[in-house]
Structures are given as C-alpha cells and as structure tokens.
Amino acid sequence: MLMNNNEVILLKYGEIVLKGANRHSFETVMIRELRRKAEKCGSFDISYNQSTVFIRPLPGTTEEQFNSMYEAAGRTFGFNAFCRAAVFEKSVEGLRHGIREYIVPKLAGKGSFKCESKRADKSFPLGSPEISAEAGGLILSELDRIRVDVHSPDAVVDIEVRGDGIYLHIGQEKGAGGIPVGTGGRGLSLLSGGIDSPVASFMMAKRGMKIEYIHFDSFPYTSEQALDKVVTLARILTDYTGPVFLHAVSLTEIQESLRASCNEEYFTLLLRRFMMTISERIARNFHCSALITGESLGQVASQTLEAINVTDSAASLPVFRPCIGLDKEEIVRTARKIGTFDTSILPYEDCCTVFTPRHPKTRPSLEKVLAEQAKVDFPGLCEKAMVTVRDFGLK
Ligand code: ATP
Ligand code: MG
C-alpha cells in the first residue's frame, strides 16, 4: 500500500541539545546513521531544524517501507522521542483541514484528549493557546462522546506550527536515548553467546561508542553453530551499533595447554587473562581504546572483586563493565527489549563451559594465579592465537 504522502517521521533530540559549540558534529553523525538506515528501508529525504529531524518519504514509498524506517528511527541513539506526523498548509484553514482529516479519525473511541501547541513561526495569526482552542473546539464538534482532560487525557494532540507547515501528531514514543554512535570513541567488546555481553555492548553503543567485537571459540569443542549464534547476536545489534566487525579467535590450544599443565581451580581465571591480553592486542590493532565485558559483580566465581582484579591486570586498556551493578533480572529486561534474549538462550556451548573447573577459585590472589600462569608459555600461546583470527564484517 502506498503512503499517505503528507506523513513524515519526526525525531526529537535527546541530551545533545545540551551540547554547545560541537553540537553540529553530533548532528552530522546522527544524520549519517539515519541516512544509512534509510537506504535499507526505501527512499527518504532527511533534514534537521530546531532540535528535530524530519524524515520524509519520497513518492512511491510504501506503508511497509515507512514502517520499517519508523522502527529503525526508534533504534537510533541521540533521540528522546519520535512520532509519525502529518504536515498541512500553514493557515487556520490548513489547521482545521488537518484536524478533521488526520486527527479526528485517530481519536475515535477515545474518552478524552488535550491539545498542546507550539508556534515556532511567530508570523502565524493565532498564538499557541488560540491554536489549541481552535483545534479542541473542532474535535469536540466532530466527535460526540469525547471530552477535554488536561490532567490525564487518553490522547495528546500535538500541533507544531513550523516554517513550512503545520505538523500534527498524537503523542510520541520514547526514543532510544543516548548519544550518537561514533561520537564516544571505539571499544572492543568481548562478545560471548550469553545474555550479558550483548547488553553490555548495547549500553556502551548507547553512550556513543563505536563497537567492534571479539569472540573466542574452541573448535572442535565448540560448534560452528555456537559461532553462528554470536554472529546473529552481533547482527541483531547492528540496528543500534551500525555496521560492525567481529573477530573470532581460537582458544583451543590455550585451553588444552592449561588442562595439561595447570591446577584445575585456576582454569577459568587463566583463560580470562588470556582473553584480556589477546583482546588488548586486537583492540590496539583496530584502534580501539577500551575493552568491554558483560561482567556483573558477584554473578559467578570469576566475577568476584578479587577475580576481576586478577583479570583486569592482564590488560592495560580501560575495561568497561556496564552491567557491573545490574541484577540478572535487569540485564534480561534489556536483552528482551533490544531483541537479543531469544538468541542468547539458545543452548550452544561456550568456550568457558568447556573444561569448567568443579571448584573454581573465588578469592584468588594474583601471586598464585601468576605462579600457575608461569606453567604455560603465556606470550607464545597469545602469539599463536593471534594467527587464528577470522574477521567478519556485519551490517
Ligand atoms: P555472558 O552472559 O555475557 O556470557 P556470563 O555471565 O556468562 O556473561 P562469563 O562467562 O564469566 O559471564 O563471561 C564474562 C564476560 O567475559 C562476558 O560477559 C564476555 O564479555 C566475556 N566472555 C566470556 N566468554 C567469552 C567468549 N567466548 N568470547 C568473548 N567474550 C567472552
Ligand atoms: Mg557466558
């Protein structure tokens, strides 16, 4: 079905309205990301003015294309709110026509409403209160059972008088928030197939970080499907992160060496130290200045403060752990919201579940861990793992 051609998508800026002189650079990044998404959805014109982005469908756009652009817009960081709106001629007659044609049918069946008007164009003959009164009066005369309720209305009719027309919409949805991806540096996210690390990656992307991923596999102990699952997770997240690279590294030889030479209680900690050191090397190769993990304090043995200290000391880049203070339930809620949960719970093994110690150390001392680590050729094994890297470009 073809679009009603005066409908547009409006996106309202979030915290970037607080940015001073460099606000323009944030706008440029946001618009670039929306244009990239628009290319996938159809043909749209995108512009911005007064803390609002306007996405206009070009002639021939279908309802489905418009809807997919609308969804994509809601997953773009930098915006607090978004809505569908329709544009009408900037005159009192245009206002009346728009209310009758676009708003009244949407209010049918609602019990109450209120009008909120903004007049960015001061040359318009009516002031904001008069615009609301005009629109409200018309709605009351067109619909029998509806009443005005300024405190808790069923629907809010927004009327924005702008330079090029009157924009009408009913309410708006909460946007993705955050700041535009690409304005907060680059981070390498350690992506397992679990629930937590996709959420951690999402949270850092929300703060503007451009994400790159590293995943550790243990073929043949882990399967090709386990890697596919991680690729799927990274791909789901591209709605938020934009295009990404995923680097897959094999830990098989490292795990076999640990099993052959080290005390089982230290397996997980040593494995995590290998992960951090290799991640740091990849991060530096790809110009990332931070590592990101999905750890949450106390969730498992390797996430006690002592264990985190032991892992942290294997890398010198800052390690961001945005889930550190979240409960599992809060992490799951976000995973569901961003669409990664159902994939994360697919039952494929992860390298950490291969050779899991029966009694992992929960309060390790770095000294003892380093003594265990000295039983294998740490630098040599890291070097060899670097040769196993496979890169995937995802968009
Ligand atoms: P998740 O739900 O993200 O898998 P988890 O609660 O299972 O986390 P761990 O297995 O201890 O916790 O892993 C802690 C963090 O280490 C993960 O959140 C992830 O960032 C990283 N990590 C673990 N396994 C891998 C892996 N195979 N590849 C890449 N990163 C990993
Ligand atoms: Mg895990």
**pLDDT tens for each residue of 176-221:** 999 999 999 999 999 999 999 999 999 999 999 999 999 999 999 8
pLDDT value, residue 83: 98
- Whose CA is closest to 312, among 284, 266, 276? 276
Instruction: Determine the average pLDDT of the residues in 67-96.
Output: 97
Peptide bond connecting 243 to the previous residue in cis, omega within 30 degrees of 0 = no
Which of 189, 196, 212, 221 is the pocket-test mutation for ligand 1 (most atoms within 8 Å of CB)? 196
| Ligand sitting nearest the alpha carbon of 226 | 1
Q: Would the CB of 302 count as within 6 Å of ligand 1?
A: yes
Q: 308 — phi, psi (to 5°)? A: -65, -40
Give tens-digit pLDDT for 288-320.
999 999 999 988 777 889 999 999 999 999 999
For residue 138, pLDDT over 80 is answered with yes
Check if 216 has its Cβ closer than 6 Å to any atom of ligand 1.
yes
Query: Is 187 a pocket residue for ligand 1 (Cβ < 6 Å)?
Result: no
| Beta partners for residue 9, in sequence order | 55, 84
Place 2 in a pLDDT band, splitting at 50, 70 and 90.
Answer: low
Q: Domains in the chain and their CATH numbers?
A: 7-174 (3.30.2130.30), 186-394 (3.40.50.620)
The β-bridge relationship of strands 319-320 and 291-292 is parallel
Determine the average pLDDT of the residues in 36-52: 94
Ligand having the closest approach to the CA of 296: 1
Ligand lying nearest the CA atom of residue 354: 1
What pLDDT, in 10s, does the model give residues 93-128?
999 999 999 999 999 999 999 999 999 888 999 999
pLDDT confidence band for 350 (50 / 70 / 90) = confident
Residue-by-residue DSSP string for 219-283: TTTS-HHHHHHHHHHHHHHHHHH-SEEEEEEE-HHHHHHHHHHS-GGGHHHHHHHHHHHHHHHHH
pLDDT score, position 18: 85
Q: Does 283 have pLDDT greater than 90?
A: yes
The pLDDT of residue 71 is 97
Question: What is the pLDDT averaged over residues 332-344?
Answer: 98
Q: What is the pTM of this model?
A: 0.93
Give the pLDDT confidence of 359-390 residue by residue, as tens digits.
888 888 999 999 999 999 999 999 999 999 99
Q: How far is CA 245 from the centre of its chain?
A: 16
Task: Give 264: exposed, middle or buried? Use CB within 10 Å, 0-12, 13-18, 19+.
Answer: middle
What is the number of the ligand 1 atom nearest to the C-alpha of 303? 11
